[in-house]
Amino acid sequence: MKRVFFLNGPMGVGKSTTGRLLQSALPQAAFIDGDWCFDIDPFVGDGATRAMAADNILHLVGNYGKCPSCQNVVVAWLMDRPEIRESLDAGVKALGLEPFWYTLVCSPQALRSRWEKDGACPWRTAEWLEISLRSLKGFASLPGRQIDTGGKSAGQVRDAILWNHIVKER
């Protein structure tokens, strides 16, 4: 069965970087950054645009699911709303694909350190850092396997996901 790996977590925790590495490690894998499906200028982060982004993600996942050259899809996005996670999970299952959920978390100090090292991203402002720091506790209680990214490279986080998937999921 084709698999969809969801990487969830607060802004700056390492979802996109880890997702790209996971894509490279999995056979016949595609990568979807949920922010691509949510790229509106000016940014509007309300329920309607989040639902639109989730629908866009499902369309892309569905197309990859139909592609014989694709066996795995990695989706990296901030999915803190239960209705978004439930919609994506149900949608992936309805497509006949198998979802695997991983939530990346870290300490406030680790998040701040990662944030300061990622100066290339336009979202890395003091205002968004405070929002991301406030969201940490909520992500720590989400369903799915939790992986602490603090003190780990993106490659180590990728390896933890692969190990969890191969050893614990099967």
Asked whether the predicted pLDDT for residue 168 surpasses 60, the reply is no
What pLDDT, in 10s, does the model give residues 104-131?
A: 999 999 999 988 887 667 777 888 899 9
User: What DSSP character marks residue 28?
Assistant: T
The per-residue pLDDT for 38 is 85
In this structure, of 18-22, 80-84, 153-157, the range with the lowest mean pLDDT score is 80-84
CATH code, domain with 120: 3.40.50.300
Closest CA to 20 of 167, 140, 157, 123: 157
Burial of 139 (C-beta count, 10 Å sphere; 0-12/13-18/19+): buried
Number of domains into which the chain is organized: 1
Q: Which range of residues forms the domain containing residue 114?
A: 3-169
Over residues 129-158, the mean pLDDT reads 92
Helix, strand and coil percent figures for the chain, each rounded to 5: 50, 15, 30
- Supply the pTM of this predicted model: 0.93
**What span, in angstroms and rounded, lies between the C-alpha atoms of 41 and 89?**
28
Looking at per-residue pLDDT, the higher value among 117 and 137 belongs to 137
DSSP string, 71-97: -EEEEE----SHHHHHHHHHHHHHTT-
Buried b (16+ CB within 10 A) or exposed e, 79-110: bbeeebbebbbebbeebebebbbbbbbbeeeb
**What span, in angstroms and rounded, lies between the C-alpha atoms of 15 and 20?**
9
Looking at per-residue pLDDT, the higher value among 123 and 62 belongs to 62
Looking at per-residue pLDDT, the higher value among 49 and 73 belongs to 73
Tell me the average pLDDT of the chain: 91
**What span, in angstroms and rounded, lies between the C-alpha atoms of 110 and 149?**
8
Closest CA to 149 of 5, 7, 3, 4: 7
